[in-house]
């Protein structure tokens, strides 16, 4: 029998409150039908967008109203599906909402090409005529910036229509990995059967018994091996879609296209990779320290997630974790801290794993809803950090939508991962300052080191992999399963030089869902670098730095990412924040080495 409960067995207080969006599915159907009808209203403005200031304001406001409603309809369906990815009903609702979103994008696709017929001076004159247009000043600036990569209205409509198709490989991968794949059950040292899942795999690799870890590792990756041709085909076609879409928009590379959207220079990506590669000796030190702590001759890949303390760490129930997280946020001020506490009491979080539930964790919600956080809490320190992380995303969204109009209510991933990681850094500092239990302190310090290893180093490794995969596709080299294994395995061997890199770990690329959002993962690395710099400033300068940070959270996408981070006192065009983060990592490695004797 599975050790993972059915959803009906989870207490309501530990589930998110999706009824606050739509009380019933019938209410969702009504909202869906209403907004589906409104989408057609956009076509009335085609060819007239820039006729005069009043018309321009009308079409932009109508587009925003429709997209707000579409996003809420889509979020509800997606989150219901994620409660149980095998549920056919919510799979269907999600598919319908995705089609609706594509229809809305297609119906509004004429707006930006027509806007690009304006000059900056002509738009300024329109603001003089209708002052409410000033709300869209930065948005229009961004649209005009993208003019060289925007096609005709007809082509833009076609690209919008094809968005469902070009993104289909990610949906296929999601269904395969979460709904269809069944991982083996292995026997633990007590003779009990333990079901391997996407959510608990990493946690199982923290178990003290080395032979058990090896069995988990081998069985897990052998299951991926049985799917290798399917996953390779999905990823190859995902990369191909990225490349073809970039070419259709007159970019030289898919990476250039991905980074140009948020207006992040490619040099930032290259600077990250170069700086991390220049500091691999710190990661090698971590790996060697782990080998010594575990008292093994060779650090194997199934040892990689083991804590330096050599055990699983203390059990930490969810309710205790929420107390630690809320207390840790005190440096950000009473408003921030109390609103997090209130959100936790208001069922923002879907806490525990259940059969069929989407793996991992995320923060969701829309402009017109409360935040929602999906977790698969495992009663450990790592899960507490994940909670702090996702609450950072949720609070970023809350502060933004209260300050900004809908057009700026989202924010680029480049800055999103800053808010989440600031919360993590504050949690680390709080626990090291307030918790006396030496074993708990070691667990916290280990968690910090693992977060830097798995975020700054691991995600940069991933960034190198997807950059190289896209480069190979652009040069016409076939992306076979063997080639992808070779590429990933070589990078793993370089990053983890002191460890034994086996054939199974070369398949790890197969288990990374973020690869289906090209050039996404590097932002975890830049995000943790910026976050540690911001946290240092908060502790050094106090209230002034905290206010600057909260102002950054309130800006949404009102400015470009690098400009927004300058509000918080960080310059990500330089290597300084990355070097500073790696220096902190090195210092805490030495501290941990001292504690371990």
Q: Mark residue 590 as left, alpha or beta (left: phi above 0; alpha: psi -120 to 50; beta: remaining).
A: alpha
Six-digit token pair at 215?
């069995």
**Contact present, 2 and 337 (Cβ < 8 Å):** no
**Cβ neighbours of 270 (radius 10 Å):** 12
* Helix (DSSP H) and strand (DSSP E) numbers for the chain: 26, 5
Residue whose tokens read 């300052």: 433
Q: What is the DSSP string of 387-437?
A: HHHHHHHHHHHHHHHHHS-GGGSS--HHHHHHHHHHHHHHHHHHHHHH---
Spatial separation of the C-alpha atoms in residues 493 and 512, rounded to whole Å: 18
CA 83 to chain centre: 19
End-to-end C-alpha distance for the chain, whole angstroms:
43
From CA 189, how far away is CA 167, in angstroms rounded?
43
**Distances from the Cα of 307 to the Cαs of 81, 327, 548, in angstroms?**
34, 25, 35
DSSP result, 488-539: HHHHHHHHTTTSB--TGGGGGGGG-GGGGSTT-THHHHHHHHHHHHHHHHHH
d(Cα 157, Cα 160) in Å, to the nearest integer?
Answer: 5
The CA distances from residue 68 to 52, 129, 362, 446, 471, in Å, are 25, 27, 20, 42, 36
> Catalytic: 390?
yes
Burial of 315 (0-12, 13-18, 19+ CB in 10 A): exposed
How far is Cα 391 from Cα 328, in angstroms, rounded to an integer? 12
Contact 181, 199 (CB under 8 A): no
Candidates 83, 112, 390, 559; catalytic one = 390
Integer Cα distance of 164 and 95 in angstroms:
10
Show Cβ contacts of residue 27 under 8 Å, excluding neighbours closer than 6 positions. Answer: none
Q: Which residue has the tokens 């096609």?
A: 151
| Two tokens, residue 300 | 């194997």
Quick one: tokens of 159?
Answer: 């690209």
Residue in this structure with the two tokens 């026997």, named with its chain if needed: 187
How far apart are alpha carbons 212 and 189 in whole angstroms? 7
Paired residues of 408 in beta bridges: none
Positive or negative, the CA dihedral 163, 166, 170, 173 is positive
DSSP 567: H
- Residue 242 near residue 518, CB atoms below 8 Å: yes
Q: Give the catalytic positions in this structure.
A: 390
């Amino acid at each position: 029998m599975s050790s993972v409960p059915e959803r009906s067995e989870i207490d309501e207080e530990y589930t998110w409150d999706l009824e606050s969006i739509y009380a019933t599915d019938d209410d969702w159907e009504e909202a869906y039908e209403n907004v589906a009808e409104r989408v057609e209203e956009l076509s009335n403005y085609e060819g007239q967008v820039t006729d005069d200031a009043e018309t321009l304001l009308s079409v932009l406001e109508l587009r925003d109203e429709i997209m707000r409603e579409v996003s809420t309809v889509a979020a509800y369906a997606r989150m219901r599906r994620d409660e149980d990815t095998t549920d056919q009903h919510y799979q269907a609702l999600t598919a319908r909402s995705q089609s609706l979103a594509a229809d809305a994008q297609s119906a509004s696709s004429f707006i930006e090409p027509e806007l690009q017929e304006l000059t900056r001076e002509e738009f300024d004159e329109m603001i003089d005529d209708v002052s409410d247009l000033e709300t869209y000043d930065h948005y229009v600036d961004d649209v005009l910036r993208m003019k060289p990569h925007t096609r005709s209205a007809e082509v833009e409509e076609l690209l919008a229509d094809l968005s469902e198709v070009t993104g289909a490989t990610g949906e296929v991968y999601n269904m395969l990995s979460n709904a269809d794949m069944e991982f083996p059950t292995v026997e633990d040292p007590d003779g009990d059967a333990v079901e391997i899942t996407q959510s608990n795999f990493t946690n199982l690799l923290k178990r003290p018994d080395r032979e058990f870890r090896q069995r988990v590792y081998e069985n897990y990756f052998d299951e991926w091996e049985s799917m290798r041709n399917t996953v390779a085909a999905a990823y190859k076609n995902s990369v191909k879609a990225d490349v073809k879409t970039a070419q259709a928009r007159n970019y030289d590379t898919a990476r250039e296209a991905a980074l140009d959207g948020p207006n992040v220079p490619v040099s930032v990506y290259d600077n990250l990779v170069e700086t991390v590669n220049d500091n691999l000796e710190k990661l090698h030190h971590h790996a060697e320290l782990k080998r010594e702590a575990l008292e093994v001759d060779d650090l194997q890949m199934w040892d990689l997630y083991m804590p330096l303390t050599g055990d699983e760490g203390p059990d930490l129930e969810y309710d205790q974790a929420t107390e630690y997280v809320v207390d840790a946020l005190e440096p950000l001020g009473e408003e921030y801290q109390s609103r997090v506490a209130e959100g936790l009491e208001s069922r923002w979080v879907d806490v525990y794993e259940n059969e069929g539930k989407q793996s991992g964790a995320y923060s969701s919600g829309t402009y017109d809803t409360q935040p929602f956080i999906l977790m698969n809490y495992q009663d450990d320190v790592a899960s507490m950090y994940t909670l702090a992380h996702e609450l950072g995303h949720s609070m970023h969204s809350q502060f933004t939508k209260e300050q900004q109009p809908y057009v700026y209510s989202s924010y680029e991933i480049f800055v999103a991962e800053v808010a989440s990681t600031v919360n993590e850094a504050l949690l680390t500092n709080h626990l090291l300052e307030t918790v006396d239990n030496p074993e708990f302190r070691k667990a916290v310090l280990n968690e910090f080191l693992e977060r830097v290893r798995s975020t700054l180093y691991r995600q940069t490794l991933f960034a190198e992999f997807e950059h190289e995969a896209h480069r190979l596709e652009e040069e016409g080299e076939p992306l076979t399963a063997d080639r992808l294994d070779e590429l990933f395995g070589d990078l793993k061997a370089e990053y983890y030089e002191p460890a034994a890199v086996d054939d199974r770990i070369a398949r790890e690329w197969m288990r990374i869902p973020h690869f289906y959002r090209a050039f996404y993962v590097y932002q975890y690395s830049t995000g943790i670098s910026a976050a540690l710099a911001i946290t240092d400033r908060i502790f050094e300068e106090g209230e002034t730095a905290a206010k600057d940070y909260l102002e950054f959270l309130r800006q949404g996408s009102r400015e470009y990412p690098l400009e927004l981070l300058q509000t918080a006192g960080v310059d990500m065009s330089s290597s300084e924040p990355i070097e500073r983060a790696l220096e902190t990592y090195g210092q805490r490695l030495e501290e941990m080495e001292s504690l371990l004797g």
